[in-house]
Amino acid sequence: MGKIYTSETIAVRARERKLVPGDRLWVAGDKVSGDAYRAGNSPANSAIYLRWRDVGAAKQGKIEGEDLQKAIVNPGQGLSLFIEKVVQSDFHLLASQSEQCGKAALRKLAEEKGYQDAHQMHWFKMDEGPIMPAGLEVVFDNDPPGHCTLTVTRSMTVHEFLDLVGNHLGFSYVGTDIFGQH
C-alpha cells in the first residue's frame, strides 16, 4: 500500500517536492497528475460529501438535504487532502489490506499486537488524468503538515461544488490501514 508518513516525516516529503504553503497543485485546465490522498473512516467514497466543518461552520455532521443548496463553500474551504498518506505520530501500523474488516477482527488484531484498540483508515487517491474544471483548484497549505485543499476559486453552494467534483474528478479506493494506539 505504499509508505505512510507521520506529521513529523511528511515535512521532508513536502521539501522533496519543493512545496510551500500557497502553491497551487492543480488549477482550472490542468491535467491532474500526482498524488493527493483523502482518508476516511468508511470504505465509502468520502469525496462525495462535505461536512459542516469543511465550510467553517460549528455544526457537526454531513451537509445534507436542503442545506446542500444553502451552505456556501468559500475559497480555502472544501475537501481535505494530503500529498501522501499521513497519520498521527502516535498511531502504529498493525496491518494493510485491500478491504475493511469487522469490529471483532479489529479487536483480535489489536489484542494479538498488544494494543487496547485498533482503528481503520480507508484511503482514496485523486484519480490522475481528469482536467481540473473551472472553479476548482488544489492548494497546498501544509496545515497540518502535508495538507492541501480541493477548494473553489469563487464562492459557490455545496451542491455546485460537489457537482463539479463528482462530474469532473474522481477518487479511487486504494486500501485500508489498521492502526493501534497505546
pLDDT per position as a tens digit, 128-150: 999 999 999 999 999 989 999 99
**CB distance 141 to 21 below 8 Å:** yes
102 or 37: which carries more pLDDT confidence?
37
- In three state form, how does the secondary structure of 67-125 look? HHHHCEECCCCEEEEECCCEECCCCEEEEEECCCCCHHHHHHHHHHHCCCEEEEEEEEE
Residue 46 confidence class, pLDDT cut points 50, 70, 90: low
Q: What is the pLDDT of residues 2-34, one digit of tens each?
A: 688 887 889 889 999 999 999 999 999 999 998
pLDDT above 70 for 182 = no
Q: What was the pLDDT predicted at 160?
A: 97
Q: What was the pLDDT predicted at 84?
A: 92
Q: What is the pLDDT of residues 84-100, one digit of tens each?
A: 998 876 777 787 877 66
Predicted TM-score of the model (pTM)? 0.88
Span 113-132, average pLDDT? 87
94 or 63: which carries more pLDDT confidence?
63
Q: What was the pLDDT predicted at 146?
A: 93
**CB distance 75 to 55 below 8 Å:** no
Tell me which residue of 47, 50, 39 sits closest to 159, measured CA to CA. 50
